Amino acid sequence: MAGILIVAEVDAGVLRPEYWELATVARAVSASIPGGVSVAVIGADVAAAAQQAAGIGPDTLHVIDDERLANPWPEAHAAALIQLCGELSPQMVLAPRSILGAEIAARLAVRCGWPLLQDVVQIEATPDGGLQAVRPVSGGAVAATVRIGAGPWVVVPRPRAFAPAAASAVAEITPTRHAFAPPPFATACGTPQRVAVQGLSVDRAKIVVAGGGGLGGPEPFTLLREVAALVGGAVGASRVAVDSGWVQSTMQVGLTGKTIAPDLYIAVGISGAIQHLVGCSSSQVIVAVNSDPAAPIFGIANYGVVGDCKEVMTAFRDTLATRAAQAGRAV
Amino acid sequence: MRAVVCLKQVIDPLTPATSLALDVQDMKIRVRAAAPPVINGFDEQGIEAALRLRETIRELEIVCIAASERFNTDVMKRALAVGADQLILVQDPSLDTWNSYPVAYALAAAIRQIGGADLVLCGRQGSDWDNGLVPYILADLLAMPLLTLAKRVNIADGKRVEIERVLADGSMTMEAALPAIVTVTSELGALRMPSVAARLTAARKQPRQIALADLGAGAPPALAPEVIDLAIPVTGRNCTFIEAADGPGAGVRLAETLLETGAVRLGMER
């Protein structure tokens, strides 16, 4: 019987970054869950990714390498994971909260009748052999502490809630290969059409400068774009700004937009409804600029400025531009 | 041909987080102000997907079904106003829960009672608890294939459903034979506004209320974790307000502060 099974998701040949965070979670609870730490690598041509995944020094490494797993086809990937769980009988399955990872975790949980702990930001084993975890709800406005009895469990941690584990010296580990033997498929999928992101996308930028309803129209977004260009960031927007037609929907941060966790998030004229907080509350540093001192966004901000957004951001931009010019001359 | 759209009544996510009240006795999240609930936004997009299908499949019957402890009927009737043929509300105190299983069992039983569905549409997740589990349980209970995260839904030859599924960096097509379950995502687009005439017609239509006890839904398994505490999270953030004589002064101070703390580094690589 395996103790903890980590799902190492491989996306277009690359091991997803959440993998290293899952390793941190596994290490934190492994003392209470006997059976060691195993890793499952599922995909096609995943030898390189499997070798990289071995960097956390797992006890066993399991690989299902099959052409039918080349695309992010949920039914096929779930079938592979369900097959492995049948063979390994893990106590805990850790999956990344990616589009594919969250889906195969749900399919596994329902198929096997195992409890699913979704979006976990804290987790510990309890003395009675269960788990206790904290997860955000209502967009992170509320933190719920949940408890579950004996496993097996499926746990899906929130991205960036746990520090990534460092790869130790690559342990010599021989992967156990499993032949993929899925039941008949009820769905079929085509080849993914991947689009190159134009400019810097909000979900990849380290700094995001976002505007909301408090800006009053599309024009101030020019100012935000200038600030973003100076700091090497991307421009985001709240739902109000998108619904008002000021900016395109790909920039939207929040429940119906993107969930992001940049190093720095500058929210300008954004009040901080649940809808928006769900998308940005995991940012490392949050700066809020708003004319309303009672705006909820200040409740999650590290730095706040109460004032007219255009006045504040114009001076902010000019100061950065001056400093950048000085730095340029000094070099 | 019949499409069932599953709906959930949720706290309006445009509510300011500060107006939420926690009932740690019953482990429930309530809204302090008298803000009305809304139909979960992703589920509304499920209605929109069904309405778009009916533009080409004229005989498509659209039935919306929701399961909850209680309903704001005026809010739920929006489904009728935009063009659903029928609205079924399954009500029971046991459905006041964050546990996906009792809700999915009730929805599946209601779908069976009306004679099944060719297509079941669900939102990708609830905007409150965000478990996203109901469609998976439904697929299991109804033994239907499940296609998720559709931004486009199409029915081919009345026999197959084809979707365009969103990926983090693009999309891919997926298909399955009917009957099937499809979840939709925000990229599909917002629910249309009802016309005034449709709104007036809908005002006369009434939802059909069904008691859970009359459905024979069966006992759901006890698989959900127990909620033992609810709290306003300690973010570890203490907001430092930048004080200055005026807006421009504050902008300068903010820039200086972020440069000093290293939060902003000029000439950073993209």
Convert the pLDDT of each residue in A92-126 to its tens digit.
999 999 889 999 999 999 999 999 999 999 999 99
B233 → chain A, closest CA residue: A143
pLDDT: which is higher, B185 or B268:
B185
Contact assignment for A146 to B257 by CB distance below 8 Å: no
- Could you tell me which chain A residue has the CA closest to the CA of B270? A232
Q: What is the per-residue pLDDT for B236?
A: 60
Q: Do B250 and A74 touch (CB under 8 A)?
A: no
Q: Under DSSP, is residue B260 helix (H, G, I), strand (E, B) or coil?
A: helix
Question: CB distance B98–A200 less than 8 Å?
Answer: no
Minimal C-alpha gap between A231 and chain B (Å):
6
Q: Is the peptide bond before B179 cis (omega within 30 degrees of 0)?
A: yes
Of how many residues is chain B composed? 270
Residue A169 pLDDT: 63
Q: What confidence score (pLDDT) does residue A198 get?
A: 55
Answer yes or no: are the C-beta atoms of A252 and A237 closer than 8 Å: yes
Peptide bond into A152 cis (omega under 30): yes
- Number of helices (H), then strands (E), in chain A: 8, 18
Give the model's pLDDT for residue B234.
60
Residue B178 contacts residue B161 (beta carbons within 8 Å): yes
Q: In this structure, what are the phi and psi dihedrals at residue A309, rounded to the nearest 5 degrees? A: -60, -45
- Which residues of B, range 43-102, sit inside 8 Å of A by Cβ? 98
Mean pLDDT of B9-21: 81
Confidence bin at A330 (pLDDT 50/70/90): low
First-to-last alpha carbon distance for chain B, in angstroms, is: 51
Within 236-265 of B, beta carbons closer than 8 Å to A belong to 237-242, 244, 246-252, 254-259, 261, 263-265
Distance from CA of B205 to the nearest CA of A (A): 30
Contact: B225, A146; criterion CB under 8 Å: yes
Measured between CB atoms, which of A145, A272, A306 is closest to B16? A272
pLDDT digits (tens, 9 = 90+) for B51-102: 999 999 999 999 999 999 999 999 999 999 999 999 999 999 999 888 999 9
Chain A nearest CA to B225, separation (Å): 5
pLDDT above 70 for B260: yes
pLDDT number for residue A295: 87
Number of A/B CB contacts below 8 angstroms equals: 273
Total-model pTM: 0.86
Q: Which of A148-157, A259-268, A272-281, B162-171 has the lowest mean pLDDT?
A: A272-281
- B216 — contact with chain A (CB < 8 Å)? no
- Tell me which fold the domain A207-330 belongs to: Rossmann fold (3.40.50)
* Residue with the larger pLDDT of the pair A46 and A172: A46
Q: What are phi and psi of A146, to 5 degrees?
A: -125, 155
Q: What pLDDT, on the 0 to 100 scale, is given for residue B270?
A: 39
Looking at beta carbons, which residues of chain A come within 8 Å of B238? Answer: 302
What are the chain A neighbours of B250 within 8 Å (beta carbons)? 305-307, 312, 315
Q: Which residues of A236-251 are buried (b: 16+ CB within 10 A; e: fewer)?
A: bbbbbbbebebbebbb
Is residue A266 very low, low, confident or very high in pLDDT (cuts 50, 70, 90)? very high
DSSP-based helix, strand, coil % in chain A, nearest 5: 35, 25, 40
Confidence of residue B195 (pLDDT cuts 50, 70, 90): confident
- Residue of A71, A84, A103 lying closest to A175 (CA atoms): A84
Give B21 to chain A, closest Cα distance, Å. Answer: 9
From the candidate CATH numbers 3.40.50.280, 3.40.50.620, 3.40.50.300, 3.30.420.40, the one assigned to the domain spanning A4-177 = 3.40.50.620
Contacts of A203 in chain B (CB under 8 A): 168
pLDDT in tens, B212-253: 999 988 899 999 999 999 987 665 668 899 999 999 999 999
Q: Which helix (H) or strand (E) holds A7?
A: strand A4-11
Is the distance from CB of A137 to CB of B128 less than 8 angstroms?
Answer: yes
**CA nearest to B224 within chain A:** A115
Query: B181, B147 in Cβ contact below 8 A?
Result: yes
By C-alpha distance, the chain B residue nearest A299 is B239
The DSSP output letter for A258 is B
User: Alpha-carbon distance B61 to B118, whole Å?
Assistant: 10
Closest Cβ opposite residue B173 in set A115, A190, A278: A190
Q: Give A125-140 pLDDT, tens digit per residue.
A: 999 999 999 998 877 7
CATH class as words, domain B2-214:
alpha beta
Question: How many Å lie between the alpha carbon of B83 and the closest alpha carbon of chain A?
Answer: 23
Which residue of chain B comes nearest to A289, CA vs CA? B251
Of A190, A256, A305, the CB nearest to B172: A190
Calculate the alpha carbon distances from B18 to A265, A307, B11 in Å: 20, 21, 13
Please say whether the beta carbons of A233 and B265 come within 8 A. no
Tokens found for residue B143 = 């033994």
CA angle A143, A148, A152 (to 5 degrees): 125
Distances (CA, A) of A49 to A20, A44, A65, A102, A103: 13, 10, 11, 20, 21
Q: β-strands B240-241, A116-120: how paired? A: unpaired
SS3 B91: strand
> A232 and B137: CB-CB below 8 Å?
no
Output the pLDDT for position B269: 41
Q: What is the spatial distance between Cα B10 and Cα B134, in angstroms, rounded to a whole number?
A: 15
Q: What is the ipTM of this complex?
A: 0.90
For chain A, the domains span 4-177, 207-330
- Cite the DSSP H helix spans in chain A: 18-29, 47-53, 74-88, 99-112, 220-231, 239-243, 274-280, 309-330
Helices B134-142, B100-113: axis angle to 10 degrees equals: 40
Tokens 């997860």 belong to A135
CB contact under 8 A, B17 and A288: no
3-state SS assignment for residue A81: helix
Which uninterrupted H or E stretch holds B111?
A: helix B100-113
